Structure 1
Amino acid sequence: MLVLLLNEGPQNIDDLKEALGISSSALMPQIKKLLKWDIVIYNPETDVYSLSEMGALIVEKLDDFLNLINIYVENHEYWEARDLSDVPYHMRKCIGNLTHCELLEADRGSLFEFHPTFVENILNSKYIMMASSTFQPQTVDIFSKTLQNNLKISCVFTEQIFDKFLKEFPDQFKCFISHDNMTISIRSGHIGPLTLVVTDTFMSLWLFDKKGRFDGTTLISYEDSAIKWGRALFTYYSSISNLVYIDAETDKVELSGYNVTKARNCWL
């Protein structure tokens, strides 16, 4: 707690005592230890304590650890049951960014339908990024409505799911592929989460449990750190996917290398 307080800026002994609610006799032994380890430094001219450079680095890692503990405590039963093995390791390391998540429970009869709260939020967004390995027909209706509202959309599907969408909704998906405000890419390999959706206002995630089952629960967060985490995960999948386009001469769906610039322009 002491080093976290000092991370907010230099403070004198009275400020620290008041914030921690302890006496000088209880506080000074801890300060002396931190001074001895060069984690905290003392400025006699201003009579304040502050973090050293090494102390600041330690607090940064400590902050990451506390964020991870906090998200686990907030939704302990959810995280305990989720299978995170398919989420890329570099993203699992910073999963503590998913702060203040809400769980939207699905009705038994509509496990694979989007929760009404999710739909309301996405229709009021300015852009959409989606990476998905599951077939959700409702996606087509959402894309159609958001494109009418001039939203920008960039999405990545697994090859199997894209083929199913194209087979079930050929006209709509060809229209999506040709639309100036939309890019679609195909991931030939696996996409870890069932579905990831990121907009300018929220991030949402659907994950299997550890027994490979899906219970319809939507994890959603409106925090900037969670949105940033979601963008990074989407960027990872889009960077290893192939952009889809309609060949002007044959009118067939073709694949190209992924155009990062076009995708970014689609949602920035």
Structure 2
Amino acid sequence: MKTELISTVFLSEKRKNTLIMLMDGPATIDDIKKSINGTTSAIMAQVKILIEQGLIEQKDDEYRLTHIGRIILKKIKPLIEALNVVEDNKDFWESRDLGAVPDPLLDRIGDLGEIMIHEPDLNHLFEPPKELLTSLKQTKNVCTFYSYFCPTCPYNYAELAKKEVNYNLILTRPVYERLRDEYTEQYNAIMNSQNSHLFVCEEDIIKPGAISVTDNLLLLSFFNKKGLFDHKKVISFHKSARQWGQDFFYHYRQLAEQVK
């Protein structure tokens, strides 16, 4: 029975996605069909299996999770979401050094949702992705962590400060010192802003390449397993991903010292 239930959930994308959809509430066949690609007959065949296994039930023209179905889905949904994040970009994740991510956040990796991997061409290696630049123009809140120096970033920092965006910025000490010493005007704009808060993280702390969280976007970068930064970045627009990014940022905020 144990193997049969696992097979029921995992050996069919339609069954798996139907169960996840029903966690949000009852749905008709038409609702399921809109959410999941497939003909009515194909979906009905999978729904029948889920009913036979006691995972869902029908009431009038709607289908809903049974109590057993809800118990099981609460346990396996995080696994399904983690698999979706990793399997769609397996080569990328295998090459990343994730030692900077606290274990509780690794356990929630599925919160990143549907992600895109940004890999710039040679002409744009040191420029932030367009998605991030667009978001920075619209957002009212930003949390950013950088452990490498991005030549265009001081100007972006200063622009946010001048607009009095609620901005929290963490830099490693070498990056901070370069900002302070070589970009005086931009540094002063940050320090003179009432809503900008600058923090310094010591170099000996295990850290990611970058974290940026805005009102609608999460951007992450990690060093690869050779300790090199190869400019590949993760971007997600999911609400759960932004919360994950906030929690990741505040992990480093607790390890940093504010510049006053």
TM-score normalized by the length of structure 1:
0.73
Flag the 1:191–1:179 CA change in 2: closer, same or farther, 3 A: farther
SS at match of 1:176: helix
In the alignment, the residues of structure 2 paired with residue 19 and residue 154 of structure 1 have an alpha-carbon distance, to the nearest angstrom, of: 50
CA contact (8 A) 2:146 2:209 kept: yes
Where do 1:135-154 residues align within 5 Å?
135-154=149-168
Question: 2:70 pairs with 56, 64, 84, which one?
Answer: 56
Partner residue in 2 for 1:7: 23
In the alignment, the residues of structure 2 paired with residue 139 and residue 219 of structure 1 have an alpha-carbon distance, to the nearest angstrom, of: 18
Q: Which amino acid aligns with 1:135?
A: F
Question: 2:236 pairs with 221, 228, 232, which one?
Answer: 221
In the alignment, the residues of structure 1 paired with residue 116 and residue 163 of structure 2 have an alpha-carbon distance, to the nearest angstrom, of: 27
Where do 1:170-189 residues align within 5 Å?
170-188=184-202, 189=204
Where do 1:41-120 residues align within 5 Å?
50-52=65-67, 55-120=69-134
In the alignment, the residues of structure 1 paired with residue 76 and residue 151 of structure 2 have an alpha-carbon distance, to the nearest angstrom, of: 43
In the alignment, the residues of structure 1 paired with residue 41 and residue 25 of structure 2 have an alpha-carbon distance, to the nearest angstrom, of: 15
Flag the 1:95–1:170 CA change in 2: closer, same or farther, 3 A: same
Flag the 1:4–1:218 CA change in 2: closer, same or farther, 3 A: closer
Partner residue in 2 for 1:21: 44
Cα offset, 1:76, TM superposition: 2.7
CA contact (8 A) 1:128 1:154 kept: yes
Q: Which moved more, 1:109-118 or 1:192-201?
A: 109-118
Instruction: Extract unaligned runs of 5+ from structure 2.
Output: 1-14, 33-39
Larger radius of gyration: 1
CA contact (8 A) 1:126 1:200 kept: yes
Partner residue in 2 for 1:239: 254
Q: Which amino acid aligns with 2:215?
A: D
Cα offset, 1:65, TM superposition: 1.0
Partner residue in 2 for 1:204: 219
SS at match of 2:198: strand
Cα offset, 1:242, TM superposition: 1.5
TM-score normalized by the length of structure 2:
0.75
Q: Which amino acid aligns with 1:21?
A: M
Flag the 1:73–1:146 CA change in 2: closer, same or farther, 3 A: same
Alpha carbon RMSD of aligned pairs, Å? 3.3
The percent of aligned pairs where both chains have the same amino acid is 24
CA contact (8 A) 1:132 1:194 kept: yes
